[in-house]
């Protein structure tokens, strides 16, 4: 398990180095067999330490090493139970994407470059504002992730899932890039057409 914990710490620090989280915002989890490594409650993901990694039983949610997992661990573990195709759950708060999550009105289509439909999916699920750490938020996130891999949490942040660390981080980076482009364009951005998206999905995703 020591090797896996070191890999988890490296991924957490990568998330921070890419500016996807700040201080104690955000959390990360990774399936390792029947358990999940989860960043501890109150921990700073960019500076995560070994003693801040909770080892949790995925089936029961119980911490097996006495470290209290993130207050958002409820949706992390439920998603890992329900989505056997993914192994990583990343909750972050990158600046441009969180700015969009706080806008009214806000953009609803983020397909400004091919990376969005190719990596994040052509539609980003949206969850209304619900108190961080609340059962209602956990339920809403789990429901959204049943059919999507990328979720925008209004007035809060984002959640991404992937088969491995890079897959989840890549989704976060490309949604952040798209939101940055949209904000910089000040409403003058263009979007991929349905035909262009279908061509991308056929060429790169085999759909």
Q: What is the mean pLDDT of residues 61-81?
A: 97
pLDDT, position 206 = 86
Expressed in angstroms, the distance from the first to the final Cα of the chain is: 38
For residue range 99-152, list pLDDT tens digits in order: 999 999 999 999 999 999 999 999 999 999 999 999 999 999 999 999 999 999
Contact 138, 74 (CB under 8 A): yes
Q: Nearest to residue 157, comparing CAs of 11, 57, 45? A: 45
pTM of the model: 0.96
With beta carbons less than 8 A apart as the criterion, state whether 57 and 41 touch: no
Which candidate, 176, 143, 148, 142, places its Cα nearest to that of 162? 148
> Average pLDDT for residues 17-24, to the nearest whole number?
96
* C-alpha distances out from residue 110 to 102, 171, 174, Å: 15, 12, 10
Q: Which fold has domain 2-205?
A: L-fuculose-1-phosphate Aldolase (3.40.225)
44 HSE (CA, 13 A, CB side): 7
Kindly list the domain boundaries of the chain, sorted by start residue: 2-205
**Distance (Å, whole) CA 116 – CA 152:** 14
């Amino acid at each position: 398990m020591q090797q896996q914990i070191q890999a988890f710490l490296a991924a957490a620090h990568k998330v921070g180095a890419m500016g996807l989280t700040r201080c104690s915002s955000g959390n990360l989890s990774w399936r390792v067999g029947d358990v999940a490594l989860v960043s501890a409650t109150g921990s700073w993901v960019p500076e995560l330490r070994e003693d801040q990694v909770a080892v949790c039983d995925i089936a029961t949610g119980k911490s097996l090493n006495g470290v209290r997992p993130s207050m958002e661990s409820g949706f992390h573990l439920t998603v890992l139970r329900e989505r056997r195709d993914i192994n990583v759950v990343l909750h972050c708060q990158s600046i441009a994407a969180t700015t969009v999550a706080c806008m009214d009105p806000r953009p609803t289509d983020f397909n400004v470059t091919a990376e969005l439909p190719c990596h994040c999916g052509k539609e980003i699920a949206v969850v209304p504002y619900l108190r961080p750490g609340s059962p209602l938020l956990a339920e809403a996130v789990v429901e959204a992730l049943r059919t999507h891999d990328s979720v925008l949490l209004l007035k809060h942040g984002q959640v991404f899932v992937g088969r491995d660390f890079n897959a989840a981080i890549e989704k976060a980076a490309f949604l952040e890039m798209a939101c940055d482009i949209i904000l910089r364009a000040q409403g003058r951005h263009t979007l991929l057409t349905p035909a262009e998206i279908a061509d991308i999905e056929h060429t790169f995703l085999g759909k």
